[in-house]
Amino acid sequence: MRILTLLFRREAAVPVVALTFASAVSVALVLARVAWTWKLHYAFLIWNLFLAWLPLLFALLACERYRSRQTHDWYFFSFIAAWLLFFPNAPYIFTDLIHLTTRYYSHFWVDLVIILSCAITGLILDFVSLYLMQCIVIKAFGRIASWLFIALVAGLSSFGIYLGRFLRFNSWDILFKPVALYHGIGGWVTNPLQSSHACVFPLLFAAFLFISYVMLYALTHLQPASPNAFSNPDSLHDSQPKHA
């Protein structure tokens, strides 16, 4: 019940309702494909979409602690750590497009729509949580620091996606496979140029995440035009400079 209260608070209700609808449609598309083909090949997208909701939940929990000025207890920092740990799971769905190049080519366009539907929904979920965390950073350290924070998160997330796609690690491997994860990260740190994708992929995906967030941030701050400007067309002409 507390989780639902957080998700549907007044300030987050509209995006949460929209994202719930988008998630339901995405899941329905996956289930329809399963029913159509009798194959579970893309059922994993439902799990990935569930993981994409977790960062938003942890961000809302962190915001609640910050709002109540409980920022010096381990709960607050645990929520932030969990948010950052699960954050890469949502944009990771975009890398599932690789499945379109290796199998099931006969359903290419159907599968493309299904994957992109899940990926875009997951990306917006991530960016809503990122915006909430940015608001905390703005209040604590200022606006410039918040954009440095966005760039840092984009870089760390893209590296996390690299670990997941190419080294096959999961978010929970930090608890269940810490030694293997340590060696995987250590191998990249000691030789980041070991392959073409080891260095280029994290950089490109970080740029993609940062630019995508900037565009979404700009859209959320778009100022609506005054209704009077459209209700009275003559006002548009009156606003033009007059020449003698």
Q: Where are the domains of the chain?
A: 2-223
pLDDT of res. 1: 52
* Candidate from 89-103, 116-130, 175-189, 218-232 with smallest mean pLDDT: 218-232
The first and second tokens of residue 225, run together, are 């035009």
The first and second tokens of residue 147, run together, are 């954009």
Helix axes 74-86, 108-141, angle to 10 degrees: 150
Residue 45 has pLDDT above 90, yes or no: yes
Residue 97 or 182, more confident = 97
Residue 93 has pLDDT above 90, yes or no: yes
Per-position b or e across 208-217, b if 16+ CB within 10 A of its CB: ebbebbeebe
Residue 218 or 231, more confident = 218
Please give the Cα distance from 89 to 2 (Å, whole number). Answer: 24
Please give the Cα distance from 66 to 64 (Å, whole number). Answer: 5
Its pTM stands at 0.84
The first and second tokens of residue 30, run together, are 């996956």
Please give the Cα distance from 128 to 136 (Å, whole number). Answer: 13
How many C-beta atoms lie closer than 10 Å to residue 221's C-beta? 7
The first and second tokens of residue 150, run together, are 């966005």
Residue 78 has pLDDT above 60, yes or no: yes
Minimal CA–CA distance to 6: which of 48, 51, 66, 46?
66
The first and second tokens of residue 83, run together, are 């948010």
Residue 73 has pLDDT above 90, yes or no: no
Q: What digits encode the pLDDT tens for the residues 125-144?
A: 999 999 999 999 999 999 99
Minimal CA–CA distance to 117: which of 34, 20, 216, 29?
29
How many C-beta atoms lie closer than 10 Å to residue 137's C-beta? 17
Please give the Cα distance from 103 to 94 (Å, whole number). Answer: 17
How sure is the predictor about 5, in pLDDT bands with cuts at 50, 70 and 90?
low
* Candidate from 60-69, 171-180, 209-218 with smallest mean pLDDT: 171-180
List CB contacts of 116: < 8 A, sequence separation 6 or more.
Answer: 97
Minimal CA–CA distance to 137: which of 126, 127, 146?
146
DSSP reduced 3-state for 68: coil
